[in-house]
Amino acid sequence: MRALITGATGFVAKHLTKHLTNLGFEVWGTTRKSSPVLFKGIHHIQTLDLNTSIEQIVSYLNFLKPDYIFHLAGQSSVKKSWDNKIETFEANVVMTINLLEAVRGSIVAESVKILTVGSSEEYGEVNLENMPISEKNPLRPISPYGISKATVSMLAEQYHRSYSLNIVHVRPFNHIGPGQDVGFVTSDFAKQIAEIEEGKQTPIIKVGNLDAKRDFTDVRDIVQAYALLVAHGQSGKIYNVCSKKPTSIQEILEKLINLSRCQNIEIHRDLSKMRPSDFPYYYGDSSEISLHTGWSPKMSIDDSLKDILDHWRLR
């Protein structure tokens, strides 16, 4: 089986490559900017900007003939989307249209199974009585990122309905793990704690909104969900990928500080880390994916946080 991962040098892609390789897949990847690094397990990384020419993407698909496409390329930061609205739409919406148009024009149009990646941010404002959030919940996104991902989910449904492409769309809730960049909450906190331990930073940790509650799943569980969904997920369907448990950002911070070798860390609010709107409370319902694939997350949040902190300690 041959899998193509777009955005192959990203955080989730590296974990997905490892998982697919272990399952016996031949994994190929595309990346926007040329990457001198060939990641372990990946057969070949092609420099291909999905924003430019559809013909180039068609040629590549006709050459590769993938059985599966995991479309992970995109702009994944909610925070950045407020300052980079156009780039966010180019990376998330335009690249998805180009890829789906290319698939439609390629020789694998009828055979390839595609996974498009959305987000729990598509739901946006959700009434408390509608928690845990199911896939049927109306979409009322409150960030540019959420709007871009809601558009991706509608594109996925439309290309399935209008052109019979085999597409499964996922709505992952917050995913965390070793290798995630700064700019996401657990890495932002863990990197600072690792630097405080090394004496590179005074024992003050800068934080944003600690009151929000989010549904966290380890990336190593998330990639298992993606592999199961391309094999067993129903084309045209949308699946939440989540843990069904809300955890507050305050709790994440306390857990990471408890794992630290320094206990006298001061916490400072940094206004630049706050967002124009940040929904206070989210957790998802993952019954659909469990029903169709048997998936459920295995890693505890404590184990994930330990691995994330160890990752930053080794950098």
Least CB distance to ligand GDD at residue 290 (A): 19
Query: Which of 14, 15, 79, 220 is the binder for ligand GDD (CB under 6 A)?
Result: 79
Residue 256 near ligand GDD by CB under 6 A: no
Least CB distance to ligand GDD at residue 172 (A): 6
- N-to-C CA span, the chain: 35
Residue 307 near ligand GDD by CB under 6 A: no
Stretch in the footprint of ligand GDD (CB under 6 A) among 40-48, 53-61, 181-189, 218-226: 181-189
**Cβ neighbourhood burial of 84 (10 Å; 0-12, 13-18, 19+):** middle
Least CB distance to ligand GDD at residue 198 (A): 19
The candidate with the shortest Cα–Cα distance to 68, out of 285, 241, 223, is 223
Contact 38, 83 (CB under 8 A): no
**Cβ neighbourhood burial of 153 (10 Å; 0-12, 13-18, 19+):** buried
Could you tell me which residues come within 8 angstroms of residue 130 by beta carbon, excluding any fewer than 6 positions away? 137
Q: How many residues bind ligand GDD (CB under 6 A)?
A: 23
Least CB distance to ligand GDD at residue 185 (A): 3
Distance (Å, rounded) from C-alpha 234 to C-alpha 282? 25
Query: Which of 85, 140, 275, 306 is the binder for ligand GDD (CB under 6 A)?
Result: 275
Query: Which of 21, 35, 84, 209 is the binder for ligand GDD (CB under 6 A)?
Result: 209
Stretch in the footprint of ligand GDD (CB under 6 A) among 18-26, 72-80, 85-93, 97-105: 72-80
Residue 137 near ligand GDD by CB under 6 A: no
Distance (Å, rounded) from C-alpha 289 to C-alpha 80? 29
Distance (Å, rounded) from C-alpha 95 to C-alpha 161? 20
3-state SS class at 217: strand
Stretch in the footprint of ligand GDD (CB under 6 A) among 14-22, 150-158, 179-187, 290-298: 179-187
Query: In this structure, what token pair is assigned to residue 258?
Result: 């408890």
Query: Which of 50, 99, 116, 121 is the binder for ligand GDD (CB under 6 A)?
Result: 121
